[in-house]
Chain A
Amino acid sequence: MELLLTVGIVILVVVILFLLIFWGYYNRIIRLENRIDNSWAQIDVQLKRRADLIPNLMETVKGYMTHEKETLENVTKARSALMNAKTPQDNINADNMLTGALKTLFAVAESYPDLKANQNFLQLQDELTHTEDKISYARQHFNDSVLAFNNIVETIPGVWFAKRMNKTVKEMLQIPIENREVPKVKF
């Protein structure tokens, strides 16, 4: 009778311990997943912000850069690509295209001293650079969050709990090398 009671208590303790550990891992996995969603939303906010700044920029420069049709068109094209992007990777690719197009535009703007002196232009340039930096860091944070999530979901004992929760490894964002344009400036 004594033995049965002891065995019963031991089993109860083990079950409670297991449930506590499961509770801990379950919540941790959910939190890390939420962090990933949140950091993607951050990227999205910055991408939209950049897309919103472009029309302003176009208005400011078009009076000055009347002979740079191709450069200006590239920016507008890239912006539409960004607005139409569907998947996270699409977004990143379109974003790279836009960054390249803007780099060329700002390089070309160097030969227009009147434009460079325009306060509006300077402020837009500052803010566009700032938005690009924010996108870059938001992407970094996204990948950091994915790393933390993947680490939990792939190592023991997280891997057992993750299987029960139907959670699998997530993909990080890649920056395609071909999309990095070197600005070609024609004088």
Chain B
Amino acid sequence: MLVEDHIKHNKRLTFLICGFMALLFLSVIFAFGYIYFGNIYISLFFGLPVAIIYIGITYSFSVQTVLSAAKARPANSRIREEKLLMYKVEEMAIAAGLPIPKVYVQDSNNINAFATGKKPEEAIICATTGALQKLKTDELEGVIAHEMSHIKNHDILIATVTIGVVGAIALISEIVFYSMFWGGAGRGGRKNEGNAIIMILAIILIILAPIFSRLTYLAISRKREYLADSNGAYLTRNPEGLAKALESIKNDTSSGKPKGSKTVAPLYIANPFKSQSINSIWATHPPLDERIRRLRSM
């Protein structure tokens, strides 16, 4: 498949999965309203603004959260490797037609990189010192192109909103559980038997929704990773560069606990927590072998 085909395919899948997530979120809000008020519109009226505010707040603080969790520092142009990193970021920004992101560095032996920022104009790209030392020029270029693609595709926004929705669904679910535990459900008017069935369905939805939303979020995350791979390959016109970089990451046996909590994992180019099973539906990143295979087939 051509690179362009990969890009189209990945974009389409992302739309489908995001649509499913939106549907899930709305059904949860409806179910909540039904259980408590016998009326779905009330919860929509109150629930939706609250959810939006919650997501807005997490989004505003996303950059500080990520940078301090990763203990990243601005790149030092006096160190040749870091100066070359800044050069690479500038080149990729030109290729992508984006403003030049700020460049940060994380002192770590692992090979990794991530991108963050509220919008393409205020973006930040960070690479580990391990990456600067262990990767060759074309490999580093592939990694930076991958991160630049995340910025161009607004993946940080998508990731934050999706995580926010997952959090909101989990929150609603817990509220329902606790109040049912203390015997508060069913305040809404029950006019006939039919309502009981809907009530049960609503409760089952609320129980299963957190799991489904989390799985959906992970599926979105993986698709966005494939998309960033294909877009990055298109930017450099050299899929082999990123493929070799992923191989280097695979074979890198350096120790050292990865910094940052599990929530920032999806922003990295490779899962820093190797202990997570790489082939399961619970992974934030697609398996490295499959990513390498796709890149080499372009």
Contacts and interface: CB of A to CB of B under 8 A. Distances in A.
Contacts of B90: 130, 134
Nearest to B90: A134
Contacts of A137: 91-92, 94-95
Nearest to B98: A141
A154 interface: no
A130 B87 contact: yes
Interface in B238-265: none
Nearest to B95: A137
Interface residue range, chain B: 10 to 19
Say what secondary structure dominates the interface of chain A.
Answer: helix
Interface in B47-91: 80, 83-84, 87, 90-91
Interface in B202-222: none
Interface in A114-154: 126, 130, 133-134, 137-138, 140-141, 144-145
Contacts of B237: 140
Contacts of B80: 126
A141 B83 contact: no
Say what secondary structure dominates the interface of chain B.
Answer: helix
B82 to A, nearest CB: 12
A144 B7 CA distance: 15
A130 B92 CA distance: 12
B183 interface: no
A187 B285 CA distance: 53
Contacts of A138: 94-95
Contacts of B94: 42, 134, 137-138, 141
Question: Closest 9 interchain pairs by CB?
Answer: A137-B95, A130-B87, A137-B94, A133-B91, A137-B91, A138-B94, A141-B97, A141-B95, A134-B91
29 contacts: A35-B97, A39-B97, A42-B94, A126-B80, A126-B83, A126-B84, A126-B87, A130-B87, A130-B90, A130-B91, A133-B87, A133-B91, A134-B90, A134-B91, A134-B94, A137-B91, A137-B92, A137-B94, A137-B95, A138-B94, A138-B95, A140-B95, A140-B237, A141-B94, A141-B95, A141-B96, A141-B97, A144-B97, A145-B97
